[in-house]
Amino acid sequence: MTETFTPPTRFAVPGRIDVSNRAAAVWQTATITEIRRESPHAATFRLAVPAWAGHLPGQHLMLRLTAEDGYVAQRHYSIASAPDDAGHIELTLDHVEGGEVSGWFHTVAEPGDTVEVRGPLSGFFAWPGDRPALLIGAGSGVVPLMSMLRHHRARGLDVPLRLLVSARSPEELIYAREYGAETTPVFTRSAPEDVPVGRMAAAHVAPLLAEQPPGGWEAYVCGSNGFAEHASRLLVAAGQPVHRIRIERFG
């Protein structure tokens, strides 16, 4: 055992973009301009960030709230909006049970309130719109994938894009009115008539791999750890190369 070790996969590919460290280092004031309900548990918060440096679909930011005594709570959130909306970004947040930050957004926040953000952050999950994209998300895991879908539409990109999105029920499916032919929803608890109920399965993933474009898909998976483990195994079993699966897990 003296030979040089070669990893069995080439996972550690560089990020899709060069990350702007300057933008990531600065906290900026963000003003809530609009709140839209997406589902019983999720709402979209539109923020005006005048000096926003711009982002790529799939990137996230760090957000912080400060109490009067100086106590600070900060969290990472994916950006839901496409990059083209100068000076504005949108976040879609689940109301997490007992969550001090999401709880504030869902029960206190009003247009005009200010919070602080820094970003955009991280290049690994970014999608510049170059490679064919196979997007798989569950619950609010669809948020960064929606930024990709919106970008794809806003720019009229020719590169293929498909979205598999899992939700408990049609009522819980966020962005339901925005999906088109590129999207297949999967419902795990209740579904519209004629739509089967059940977990995402090989039967959902295999057809997408079968119709993969030349050069193959770049796969982006986002959701809870349990979902990410399940979906990534489905992808591997269907033949998607491990080093072309990018995963973002809640935590």
Q: Which of 36, 40, 67, 199 binds other proteins (CB under 8 A)?
A: 67
Cα pseudo-dihedral 118, 80, 146, 43, rounded to 10:
140
Cβ atoms of residues 58 and 131 within 8 Å: no
Q: Which of 51, 71, 196, 215 binds other proteins (CB under 8 A)?
A: 71
Dist CA 74 CA 31 (whole Å) = 16
User: In this chain, which stretch among 82-90, 121-129, 179-187, 204-212 interacts with other proteins, using CB under 8 A?
Assistant: 121-129
User: In this chain, which stretch among 38-46, 163-171, 206-214, 227-235 interacts with other proteins, using CB under 8 A?
Assistant: 227-235
DSSP tag of 70:
S
The residue (of 195 and 242) whose beta carbon lies closer to other proteins is: 242
Bridge partners (DSSP) of residue 162 are 134
Question: What character string, x for contact with other proteins (CB under 8 A) and - otherwise, covers 124-143?
Answer: xx------------------
Q: Which of 86, 108, 181, 210 binds other proteins (CB under 8 A)?
A: 108
Dist CA 186 CA 197 (whole Å) = 8
Q: What 3-state class would DSSP assign to 229?
A: helix
33: its two tokens: 């301009």
The residue (of 185 and 241) whose beta carbon lies closer to other proteins is: 241
Does 45 bind other proteins (CB under 8 A)? Our answer is: no
Cβ atoms of residues 173 and 165 within 8 Å: yes
Does 248 bind other proteins (CB under 8 A)? Our answer is: yes
Dist CA 46 CA 31 (whole Å) = 8
Does 222 bind other proteins (CB under 8 A)? Our answer is: no
User: In this chain, which stretch among 50-58, 160-168, 197-205, 240-248 interacts with other proteins, using CB under 8 A?
Assistant: 240-248
Burial of 192 (0-12, 13-18, 19+ CB in 10 A): exposed
Q: Interface with other proteins by CB under 8 A: which residues?
A: 1-2, 4-5, 7-12, 14-15, 19, 21-22, 24-25, 27, 29, 62, 64-76, 100, 104, 108, 113-116, 121-125, 225, 228-229, 232-233, 235-236, 242-243, 245-251
